[in-house]
Amino acid sequence: MGSGNKKKQLKTAICSVIIFLLLVSSLGCSRLYFKRIPLLEPAISLKNLSSLTCQETWYEIVFNGKKIGFSHIKINPVEKNPKLFKINSSVFFSINFLGIRNEVNFRGIDYVKPDLTLVSFENELIIDKKKLLIKGEVKKDSLFTRLESDHILEQQSLEINEPLYPASGVNLYPPLKGMKTGNSYQYQIYDPHSQSLKKVKQKVLSYETSEFFDEPAFRVKTSITSLNATSWINDKGETIFEMSRGGRLIIAKEAENTAKQFIYKKSFKKNDDFLDFCLIKTKRTIPHPRDIKFLEVEITGLADYGLIISDQRQKIEINEEKNPPIASFRIEAAPKIKYEAIRIPLPPEKFNKYLTPSRRIQSKHPEIVSRAKTIIKGEKQPLPAVKDLVSWVSREIKSGMVDSVSALEVLRSKEGECQAHALLYTALSRAVGIPTRVVSGLVYLENMGFLYHSWAESFTGCWIAVDPTFGQVPADASHIKLVEGENLEDLSPLVDVIGYLKAEVINFK
Quick check: 110 and 168 in contact, CB under 8 A? yes
Closest CA to 461 of 501, 434, 428: 434
Rounded to an integer, what distance in angstroms lies between the CA atom of residue 59 and that of residue 222?
Answer: 19
pLDDT at residue number 15 = 35
pLDDT in tens, 295-331: 999 999 886 667 889 999 999 999 888 877 899 999 9
> What is the separation of C-alpha 99 from the centre of its chain, rounded to a whole number of angstroms?
26
Rounded to an integer, what distance in angstroms lies between the CA atom of residue 470 and that of residue 246?
Answer: 46
Report residue 439's pLDDT band, with 50, 70 and 90 as the boundaries.
Answer: very high
Quick check: 177 and 45 in contact, CB under 8 A? yes
Other residues' Cβ atoms within 10 Å of the Cβ of residue 192: 25
Quick check: 136 and 197 in contact, CB under 8 A? no
Report residue 136's pLDDT band, with 50, 70 and 90 as the boundaries.
Answer: very high
| C-alpha dihedral sign at 381, 385, 386, 391 | positive
Report the 3 state secondary structure along 167-179.
HHHCCCHHHHHCE
DSSP state of 276: H
Q: CB within 8 A of 79, min separation 6: which ones?
A: none
What is the β-pairing status of strands 415-416 and 436-445?
Answer: unpaired
Rounded to an integer, what distance in angstroms lies between the CA atom of residue 368 and that of residue 375?
Answer: 11
List the domain boundaries for the chain. Answer: 27-254, 264-508
Rounded to an integer, what distance in angstroms lies between the CA atom of residue 162 and that of residue 159?
Answer: 9
Query: What dotted CATH number matches 264-508?
Result: 3.10.620.30
pLDDT in tens, 194-238: 778 999 999 999 998 888 888 899 999 988 876 777 889 998 889
Q: Tell me the percentage of the chain whose pLDDT exceeds 90.
A: 51
pLDDT at residue number 117 = 96
Closest CA to 499 of 262, 302, 277: 277
Against a cut of 0.85, is the pTM above it? no
pLDDT > 60? residue 18: no
For 19-31, letters b (16+ CB in 10 Å) and e give ebbebbbebebee
The overall average pLDDT reported for the chain is: 84
